[in-house]
Amino acid sequence: MTGAGPTSAKPLVVCVDAARTYGSGPNAVVAVHGANCVVPTGARIAVVGPSGSGKSTLLHLMAALDRPTAGTVDHPGLTTDPEGGADILQARDIGVVFQGPSLLPPLTALENVSLPLLIDGLTADEAADRASAALAELELGTLAAKLPDEMSAGQAQRVAVARMLARRPRLILADEPTGQLDRETARHVLEVLLSAADSLDAAVLITTHDARVAGALDERWYMADGRLVQPETPDRERELR
Ligand code: ADP
Ligand code: MG
């Protein structure tokens, strides 16, 4: 990364031959074959591919929730000590929306959104204020006191989006965030995600089956059978070196 410029301009994620194999021996499943990709600051990326192609696995690797079984996944623009070689990530910098249900069942929507903020050290009042604002942004104010069991799958998914945005991440990784939503709501959630990304100066990577979602982002990466294909540009090639 020589000549990479100021810290803020360093890419948020760099994958070099990053692979993830589940299991071993004859039962091994290669979910992601050596992936090479860069998520620069300001990115608006859709990862498109059929079910089972490895999108969620790649997203979890980028989120540092999982480790590659070969190759590397680094976060030069998010590490606090990049020169020292230590990859020290702050959990709050990476916002993840999971594909499946992820709200904590015993907590209300407001409590689900507040909890990470309390963990980050906000006071109870600050956390409640910020959580309420995030729910309002997703037009979920009326759900604040509801438990996940009392919501539709789509509502729960939007609460999970609010929970992610309330933490003000610098990298947004959303796994099929509109998968459970009708067309109109999907459009709204995408709008909120993109405008939040603009105001947070965050990069966005969204996995999706929805051509409308993919079309609304700046670039599209494709996955098939664990292989990532992205349009190659000279800039990207340079960044990878
Ligand atoms: P996608 O998100 O595109 O549907 P996934 O990343 O979920 O794809 O899965 C990629 C492949 O890895 C699939 O063949 C899936 O069955 C397999 N896989 C995913 N998670 C696991 C796991 N925890 N253990 C074993 N195989 C898994
Ligand atoms: Mg998936």
What are the boundaries of each domain within the chain? 42-66+83-219
Give me the residues paired with residue 229 across strands. 222
What whole-number distance in Å separates Cα of residue 205 and Cα of residue 172? 6
Q: Which ligand is nearest the CA of 49, by number?
A: 1
Q: Which ligand is nearest the CA of 66, by number?
A: 1
Quote the DSSP letter at residue 81: B
How far CA 101 is from CA of 68, 149, 159, 219, in Å, comes to 24, 11, 10, 27
Phi then psi for residue 162, to 5 deg, are -60, -40
What's the confidence (pLDDT) of residue 5?
A: 45
Tens digits of per-residue pLDDT, 126-150? Answer: 999 999 999 999 999 999 999 999 9
Question: Among 204, 210, 209, which residue's Cα sits nearest to residue 192?
Answer: 204
Task: Give the pLDDT band (50/70/90) at residue 156.
Answer: very high
User: Given the CA of residue 53, which atom of ligand 1 is nearest to it?
Assistant: 3
What's the confidence (pLDDT) of residue 235?
A: 56
Q: What is the CATH number of domain 42-66+83-219?
A: 3.40.50.300
- Lowest mean pLDDT of 7-11, 37-41, 138-142, name the range: 7-11
Tens digits of per-residue pLDDT, 158-172? Answer: 999 999 999 999 999
Task: Give the pLDDT band (50/70/90) at residue 210.
Answer: confident
Cα of 12 from ligand 1 centre, angstroms: 24
Task: Give the pLDDT band (50/70/90) at residue 81.
Answer: low
Residues with CB under 6 A from ligand 1: 22-23, 29, 31, 49, 51-57
Global pTM value: 0.90
Instruction: Give the residue, out of 32, 51, 57, 209, with the most ligand 1 atoms within 8 A of its beta carbon, to mutate for a pocket test.
Output: 57
What whole-number distance in Å separates Cα of residue 123 and Cα of residue 205? 30
Cα of 53 from ligand 1 centre, angstroms: 7
Taking CA atoms only, the protein residue closest to ligand 1 atom 23 is 22
Taking CA atoms only, the protein residue closest to ligand 1 atom 22 is 22
Quote the DSSP letter at residue 26: G
Question: Among 120, 116, 94, 97, which residue's Cα sits nearest to residue 107?
Answer: 116
